[in-house]
Amino acid sequence: MDRIWHGSWIAVARCDEVPAAGDFRVVEIGDQSVLLTRNDAGQWRAFHNTCRHRGSILCTEAQGRLRGGRITCPYHAWSYDLDGRLQTTPRRMPTADFDPADHGLFPVAVDTWGGFVFVHLGPVPAQPLAEALGWMPARFANHGLDTLVSGYRRVVDVQANWKLVCENFCECFHCPPVHPELCRVVPAYREGGAWGLHRDAEGRSIAEPGPEYLPGACTLTLDGTARVPPFAGLNDAQRAELYIPALLPPNLFLNVHPDYVNSHLMFPTGPGSVRIVYDWLFEPRALADPAFDLEHYVALWRTTNGQDARNCEWQQRGLRARPFEQGVFMPQEFDCHRFASWVRTALRSPATGQSPI
């Protein structure tokens, strides 16, 4: 947790979960509780959810509105403004050595991209968020991710270490036995990962690649059909890119399609467990359509996400075998190796920076 989660940008919420000044949301990253709010100018503010008096948590609910635009501690009622400055200390007897300016809330770095709020628990982020995001902002510039709204959210506790969940996202070698529904709409995955499958060990072509997607498919749903128009900003080539997976380690996964996004935010709850928040994001005009068919869009990834979580739990259990010291990656699992290398580097040096996979 120290080397990776306390030294990386962590996606924690959608921006519209804190719509206005004085609204708040509390997020838990391991044993760290972070309070997100917006100040009177509407700017994002994040603080450790901890009072500077004697350390009580400040907000006891996960989400809500701060009464009177103040963050008030439930223990002795010290209160702070939306910029974290200590404002009132009711019933305190005056002493010469106490300066309220020394007792503001502990700030946490906060920034946004694509409609997600990110926080960084380190004293100084190793790199700005925009840099950590690498290729992602340019690749998704026309998708309007910041305008999307969650039409459906699932929160699932998975009994697996977060790194197994990341590795699972990094490869599709498991797709044929695990994801029959996904393989139906992306037949290229049937062969075990859609990478290097038509070449021998020397890289010579040994077979003609089949179609990547189900013929006629417009998006990734159970039958490949769409019920809403593609995102307004996409060009023709981008409309034909039915699936772009993206992982910003350690905790943001995106399955991006031309008309919706399936996003995952991951929060470790222990060495062998993680809470995953899955959202299905749409343009507001899609959700506003009375004929909008949510189930049509939710079914594929709800099934697929569930299959992945189940397999990570089975792997977590299997890893307990006393003789098991290490596994082995197959060529299709090259991104697992990249992720594992990133973990190893980060464990050696906390300020290595992030880069998306």
Contacts of residue 243, defined as CB under 8 A and 6 or more positions apart, other chains included, come to 186, 213, 220, 255, 256, 257
Binds 167: which of ligand FES, Fe ion, none (CB < 5-8 Å by kind): none
What residues line the site for ligand FES (CB under 6 A)?
51, 53-56, 73, 75-76, 78
Q: What is the Cα–Cα distance from 114 to 265, expressed in whole angstroms?
A: 14
Contact (CB, 8 A) for 257 and 243: yes
Q: Which does 113 bind (CB under 5 to 8 A by kind): Fe ion, ligand FES, none?
A: none
Closer residue to ligand FES in complex, CB, 9/80: 80
Q: Which does 159 bind (CB under 5 to 8 A by kind): Fe ion, ligand FES, none?
A: none
The listed partner (ligand FES, Fe ion, none) that binds 308, CB under 5 to 8 Å by sort, is Fe ion
Q: Which is nearer to ligand FES, 3 or 76 (CB)?
A: 76
- The binder of 53, among Fe ion, ligand FES, none, by C-beta within 5 to 8 A per type, is ligand FES
Site for Fe ion in 269-308 (CB under 5 A): 308
For position 333 contacting Fe ion by CB under 5 A, the verdict is no
Q: How far apart are CA 314 and CA 318, in angstroms?
A: 6
Q: If contact means CB under 5 to 8 A according to the sort of partner, which of Fe ion, ligand FES, none does residue 335 touch?
A: none
With respect to Fe ion, which residue has the nearer C-beta, 113 or 253? 253
Minimum distance between the CB of residue 63 and Fe ion, rounded to whole angstroms?
30
- Nearest residue to Fe ion on Cβ basis: 308
**What count of other Cβ atoms lies within 10 Å of the Cβ of residue 153?**
12
Smaller CB separation from ligand FES, 88 or 345: 88
Instruction: Please report how close the Cβ of residue 67 comes to ligand FES at its closest, in angstroms.
Output: 15
Judged by beta carbon, residue 54 or residue 317, the one nearer ligand FES is 54
CB of 191 to Fe ion, least distance (A): 15
| Nearest CB to ligand FES, comparing residues 86 and 160 | 86
Name the residue among 164, 166, 210, 204 with its Cα closest to residue 191.
Answer: 210
For the CB of residue 75, give the shortest distance to ligand FES in the complex, in Å: 4
Closest approach, Cβ 119 to ligand FES, in A, equals: 22
Hey, what amino acid is at 298? V
313-321: list long-range contacts, CB under 8 Å, 24+ apart: 313/158, 313/159, 313/160, 315/160, 315/164, 316/159, 316/160, 316/161, 316/164, 316/272
Burial label, 214 (beta-carbon count in 10 A; 0-12, 13-18, 19+): middle
Nearest approach, Cβ of residue 72 and ligand FES (Å)? 8
> Which CB atom, from 51 or from 108, has the smaller least distance to ligand FES?
51
For residues 58 and 242, which CB has a smaller minimum distance to ligand FES in the complex? 58
Shortest Å distance, C-beta 76 to ligand FES: 3
Inter-residue contact 311 to 168 (CB < 8 Å): yes
Q: Name the minimum Å distance from CB 89 to ligand FES.
A: 8
Please, which of residues 303-332 interact with Fe ion by CB under 5 A? 308
Contact positions vs Fe ion (CB under 5 A)? 308
